[in-house]
Amino acid sequence: MPDANEKNQISESADRDRVRVLSLFPDVGDQAAIIEKTAELIKIGNGGYICFSTVHMVMESYDDPQFAEKVNGANYIATDGMPLVWMQKLQGKKHASRVRGNDFMILLLEFAESNDLKVGFYGGKQEVIDALLERAGKELPDLEIAYSYSPPFRALTEEESAEIVEDIKISGTQILFVGLGCPKQENWMSAHRDKFSAVMLGVGAAFDFYAGNLKESPRWISNLGLEWLYRLFQEPKRLWRRYLILNPRFLFLASLQLLGLKKFERE
């Protein structure tokens, strides 16, 4: 019998335009499509989550089939990485486009303010949360931020986890931005999809970008698919393995997929 994630995939598979990128099936769409999906999930009121896929996430999924199931079980998988967009285009989706998590978070905050929706933030250091709240308060004065929490950098106890769930419920948060980084945030969202009615979006480093801790790459660099190099120069110690080992592996495996030389468990 299928679990909750599998049921969700089955129920939505008919009306989703998805294209394989190794072990993931990201949706083909733009910012408007994700806004529409978020609004739809809020209206239904059963929660859910949206992922922003990158080469890093694709490779995590390739190496861990259970993680791939969690990401593929999301209500929507945006393409937040030009190599993924190129893969979609090379497989016939000429209209495929990139949606960066940090750009979309700002757009969705503006949408929430205009539509009187309550938002929350989960993840990141406390100083990042503080800076994020300060900026949002200045730029979006009518936005209702119902919840914010910086979890400790350790495994939570059952009591702590239960308290967090209860706090999110009580706050009435409708849109919850999750900034724990991949794969932690996707694991967390998958585990909490039935715990509360808030729609979760795993936006990774968007908290740091919005707070001003990280500088965004120029648009032309991003369009060339070289944002990874820009970020590597900012955080070499933390990101060297992700980009210098995972990126070449992705290029090799993606080439095999496009040439039809690599088979996957689920076609």
**pLDDT tops 50 at residue 148:** yes
**Which element (helix H / strand E) includes 215?**
none
- From residue 122, how far is each of 103, 117, 161, 188, 266 by CA, in Å? 18, 17, 12, 11, 33
Contacts of 224 (CB under 8 A, 6+ apart): 82
Q: Which two tokens stand for residue 252?
A: 């090799």
Query: Stretch 19-44: mean pLDDT, rounded?
Result: 96
Band of residue 246 on the pLDDT scale cut at 50, 70, 90 = confident
Q: Encode pLDDT of 8-17 as tens digits.
A: 443 455 578 9
Identify the three-state secondary structure at position 143. Answer: coil
Q: What's residue 213's pLDDT? A: 80
Query: Stretch 157-179: mean pLDDT, rounded?
Result: 97
**pLDDT tops 70 at residue 62:** yes
Contacts of 262 (CB under 8 A, 6+ apart): 253, 256
Query: Stretch 52-73: mean pLDDT, rounded?
Result: 96
Band of residue 232 on the pLDDT scale cut at 50, 70, 90 = low
Helices (H), the chain: 4-12, 31-44, 55-63, 65-72, 82-90, 101-114, 126-139, 158-171, 184-192, 206-211, 219-223, 227-234, 236-241, 247-258
Q: What residue ranges define each of the domains in the chain, with the CATH number in brackets?
A: 24-205 (3.40.50)
